[in-house]
Amino acid sequence: MALNRTNSIQNLQRFSSPEEIVTALHHELDAIKAACKKDDPDMDRAAEDFIVLFEQYLHEKGDCIDWGKIRPPAADRIIPHRNLPAIREDTTADMLGKLAVLKLNGGLGTSMGCVGPKSAISVRDDLSFLDLCVRQIEHLNDQHEVRVPLVLMNSFNTHVDTQMILRKYKHKNVEIRTFNQSKFPRIYKETLQPLPVDASDSTEWYPPGHGDLYRSLMESGELDKLLDSGKEWLFVSNIDNLGATVDPAMLQFLHEKPDCEFVMEVTDKTQADVKGGTLIEYDDRIRLLEVAQVPKEFIEEFKSVTKFRVFNTNNLWINLRAIKRVYDQETLRMEIIENTKTLDDGRHVIQLEQAVGSAIQSFHNAVGVNVPRSRFLPVKKTSDLLLVMSNLFAISHGSLVLSEHRVFKHLPLVKLGDSFKKVDSFLRRFGNIPDMLELDHLTVAGDVSFGRNVILRGTVIIIANEGERIDIPPGAILENKIVTGNLRIMDH
């Protein structure tokens, strides 16, 4: 039987003090725990963790970063990748033996029109993100005769499907381990009180961002298991970043700098990355500054590629014992990100989240390493998918490698319109993926389809106006062309 809310919640009454808000939240969470206990035995712990997050949010609410205190990091806090120590083959296997690879696997593929975990989307040669990850780790293990485990942090949205998918890897030379991140209630924007009354509606719950990694890694027992098996380092990355592979040069650096507990991979910012988080010096500590933390009057300055030259790739190398220390000593510090959303039924809600990289301030001798752009190859949209599916890349042991036939080392800028937004419609519009080796810029908008064996070079802009259709014929070569109007090839 569904529980009834208190009148104060039904009426979205405003509370007069933070203390009243917290008291009301405790009352609501007690009711939710009672309703969810059968379906979710971990709800007690989740409620306690959410209270801690919520109280930090109330404490921080209204606080703004002092823009005048922001300084660029000192030169020795961001190290060029080319300055990392030379790789020593005689130590590589030993270093790999101390490494675990963790992929953030909590997201769904809904933004690209797919059902289930995003990691299951086919991105290249019928291989999914997860397939490619497994191939990479298996190759490392085979090549160096080691046992690097692949650890997946799932969410309640991805856990069941992921467990089913993992069955197909049971004969691979990869130990795959999983744990779930927290499940927290969304809260009303007006009252700061929780939406759910029980566990029946998953849209009223959310996974609280990848900053939950530290808490969930500890509370699941997975961190202690990794330490007990001799692991010392965790390489963390988003599962949809196809450039985030194990880097022997980074391992060599960590081997030679044992006092460094945290490394964030950053890369040079372009106009396409102006909203990405960046490293700063603040109160004599290195910190991650996210766009959500920037006062409105300084947003344009934050986007500057001259003042803030690098951004966070979310590829992180973290000492496992240091994670345990800062968690046990309660010195782990991460700012709250207030993520406001409007649900399909019109309710305005808040999700309280944290970024995994913001913990950099909690670790000793943390640094950034400015890596080549090739280590940041995320697939967030179908325009990204077009790039990684094209002949711009080849696959080597699960890793994407830029084609040697590509003259320019930067990737083309690709902008696809709404007709290409979902993966199914995107695939239907290509007879096969065009040759893009000499492409610099592609913009496509409207009802446009491509025949087989099309070649795109230079700058190509194709715009079909509303009610019109453009079919690019098979074998067409478009070089520095603008195509507009109506072009349709009919069967005779």
Catalytic annotation, residues: 380
* Neighbour-count burial of 271, counting CB atoms closer than 10 A to its CB (0-12 exposed, 13-18 middle, 19+ buried): exposed
Whether 58 and 336 have beta carbons less than 8 Å apart is answered as no
* Closest-CA residue to 239 (of 182, 351, 314, 311): 314
Beta pairing class for 455-463 and 469-472: unpaired
CA atoms within 13 A on the CB side of 443: 9
What residues contact 94, with CB distance under 8 A and at least 6 apart? none
Positive or negative CA dihedral for 189, 192, 193, 198?
Answer: positive
Whether 49 and 182 have beta carbons less than 8 Å apart is answered as yes
* Assigned token pair, 62: 């209204």
| Sequential DSSP letters for 180-202 | E---EE-EETTT--BS-SSSS-G
Q: How far apart are CA 335 and CA 355, in angstroms?
A: 8
Q: Strands (DSSP E) along 336-398, which ranges? A: 337-342, 348-353, 367-370, 393-396
* Assigned token pair, 454: 């099309």
- Give the number of other CB atoms < 10 A from CB of residue 145: 10
* Closest-CA residue to 118 (of 157, 74, 149): 157
What residues contact 172, with CB distance under 8 A and at least 6 apart? 134, 138
CA atoms within 13 A on the CB side of 426: 23
Instruction: DSSP letter for 277, please.
Output: -
Positive or negative CA dihedral for 289, 294, 297, 302?
Answer: positive
Q: How far apart are CA 142 and CA 295, in angstroms?
A: 50
* Closest-CA residue to 414 (of 465, 356, 459, 470): 459
Reported residue count of the chain is: 492
Which residue type sits at 165? I
